[in-house]
């Protein structure tokens, strides 16, 4: 399998993530390894691009990727699944421990200095674990839906508070 790296994030892309999900499902069927899937959306990247330009947006994207890498173990996998989205496979991890990782990642990302955003960089994360009756692909879809709900709730909260997307 040839992996095509995303040039901005230096990560495998969405097609490679889909292939990874299939490969890991086959391995999980053999080994019974627990696995959690996290889908991560970098909040406000479109607004950063709009207000500050693509170069600054790329800087925010790369900061997110470096923080992902710093908080994950070498055995875990990351891919860029959309313009501002990432898929993460946490090997040997259940949903509860994946949630602990997500909290740590969000804290680390918020602690990073990014001068172009009023306040810290934030992200919306959806998590799902595999089970005997749920495949990795189903867990990834569940994690994506959870991420989308969280992202929507944050946008609604910001609009009610009179704020816009972070810029």
Q: What is the pLDDT of residue 158?
A: 76
Q: What is the pLDDT of residue 13?
A: 93
Encode pLDDT of 43-90 as tens digits: 888 888 898 899 988 999 999 999 999 999 999 999 999 999 999 999
Q: What is the pLDDT of residue 145?
A: 95
Q: Report the CATH superfamily, name and number, of domain 8-159.
A: Reverse transcriptase/Diguanylate cyclase domain (3.30.70.270)
Q: What is the pLDDT of residue 113?
A: 76
Going through the chain in order, the beta strands assigned E by DSSP cover 5-6, 11-12, 35-42, 77-82, 85-91, 123-129
pLDDT of residue 154 exceeding 90: no
Q: In a 10 Å sphere around its CB, with 0-12 CB exposed, 13-18 middle and 19+ buried, how is residue 51 labelled?
A: middle
Average pLDDT, the chain: 89
Neighbours of 120 (CB within 10 A): 15
Mean pLDDT of 155-166: 72
Mean pLDDT of 10-34: 92
- The percent of residues above 70 in pLDDT, for the chain, comes to 96
Residue position matching structure tokens 């899937």: 37
Mean pLDDT of 101-113: 92
* Extents of the domains making up the chain: 8-159
Mean pLDDT of 33-47: 91
- The answer to whether the Cα torsion of 143, 149, 153, 155 is positive or negative is positive
pTM of the full predicted structure? 0.89
Q: What is the pLDDT of residue 167?
A: 43
Q: Are 38 and 102 in contact (CB under 8 A)?
A: yes
Stretch among 13-17, 83-87, 102-106, 162-166 having the lowest mean pLDDT = 162-166
1-to-12, 83, 88, 100 alpha-carbon distances in Å: 12, 23, 19, 32
Q: Are 165 and 51 in contact (CB under 8 A)?
A: no
Q: What is the pLDDT of residue 1?
A: 61
């Amino acid at each position: 399998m040839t992996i095509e790296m995303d040039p901005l994030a230096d990560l495998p892309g969405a097609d490679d993530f889909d292939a990874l999900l299939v490969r890991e499902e086959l391995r999980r069927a053999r080994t019974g390894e627990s696995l959690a899937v996290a889908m991560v959306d970098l909040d406000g990247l479109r607004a950063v691009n709009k207000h500050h330009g693509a170069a600054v947006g790329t800087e925010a994207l790369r900061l997110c990727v470096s923080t992902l890498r710093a908080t994950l173990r070498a055995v875990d996998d990351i891919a860029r699944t959309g313009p501002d989205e990432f898929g993460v496979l946490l090997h040997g991890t259940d949903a509860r421990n994946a949630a602990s990782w997500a909290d740590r990642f969000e804290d680390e990302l918020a602690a990073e200095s990014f001068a172009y955003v009023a306040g810290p960089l934030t992200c919306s994360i959806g998590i799902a674990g595999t089970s005997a009756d749920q495949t990795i692909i189903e867990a990834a879809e569940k994690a994506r839906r959870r991420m989308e709900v969280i992202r929507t709730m944050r946008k609604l909260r910001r609009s009610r508070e009179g704020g816009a997307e972070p810029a």
